[in-house]
Chains A and B, each alone.
Chain A
Amino acid sequence: RIDGALVARHKELQREVCDLTEAEEQLDQLVSKCNLQLRLLTEDPQNKKLGYVRCQDLRRSFDSPDQLVMVIRAPPETQMQVSEPSEGYQVSLKSTRGPIDVFLCPEDNSGVC
């Protein structure tokens, strides 16, 4: 016997999949728009100049007298590799486009890095 419920279920599922397809397309558009906006935003020369944190911001963000805070500034496409914890605690950095800058965030209140 042919099941009417199954027919209804089939229709329902088809509709849902259709809705989801549409939702996903919308989402794709938003994501790519957002990516573009962010790129324009961060590449704007004026914003670039103002896109910084102060040393004291950093200290406050890792607020623990026990913590050593290291800052790494590297050119785009620099590769960072972290070892498996079971094989020790190791980080390697490899740049192809320019030197990498590494320094410690100061602990005193001089506010100078």
Chain B
Amino acid sequence: IGLPTNSAQECQNLEVERQRRLERIKQKQSQLQELILQQIAFKNLVQRNRQTEQQANRPPPPNSIIHLPFIIVNTSKKTVIDCSISNDKFEYLFNFDSMFEIHDDIEVLKRMGMACGLEVGKCSPEDLKVARSLVPKALEPYVIEMAKGPISNVYISGGSSAN
């Protein structure tokens, strides 16, 4: 009686399944974290701009601002850039003679401190308070966890944890 003969095999299968799920959860967690960061950064930005406009009593001149979404390409000033553009401006081709970097607008917002330092897990109590106020209740546990530092282990909200 008792175990089927393939029980050891089944254990192994379960082990593989468990590992696979853990990997997937990890991936989805970083996806969720990024979405939370974006939400916080965007809300912060909008708040800041609203305040500035109210203080100045007028919107900033249109040629001094860049609306989201955008992408940044930066390179050394010494880099020679060769650029071809189609007549309708639908197509561009850039050739750089040296290295360049590409950043999205969220990266810029992070550098501006709009993500409250959560992106690197460096968050003052003040920052954390602001960050928490900018997300729905269900996401607060994640924000608190992110404030503690980069999450390396799988973190499951609601108490049960798996490693």
A residues at B contact (CB < 8 Å): 2-3, 6-7, 9-10, 13-14, 16-17, 19-21, 23-24, 26-28, 30-31, 33-35, 37-38, 41-42, 47-48, 50-55, 57-58, 60-62, 66-74, 80, 82, 85, 88-96, 98-102, 111-113
Contacts and interface: CB of A to CB of B under 8 A. Distances in A.
Contacts of B81: 68
A54 B65 contact: yes
A113 to B, nearest CB: 6
A17 B49 contact: no
Interface stretch (B28-36, B123-131, B145-153): B28-36
Nearest to B77: A68
Contact of B66 (A7, A33, A113): A113
Interface residues of B, number: 78
Contacts of B15: 13
B35 A41 contact: no
Contacts of A38: 35, 38-39, 42
B139 A34 contact: yes
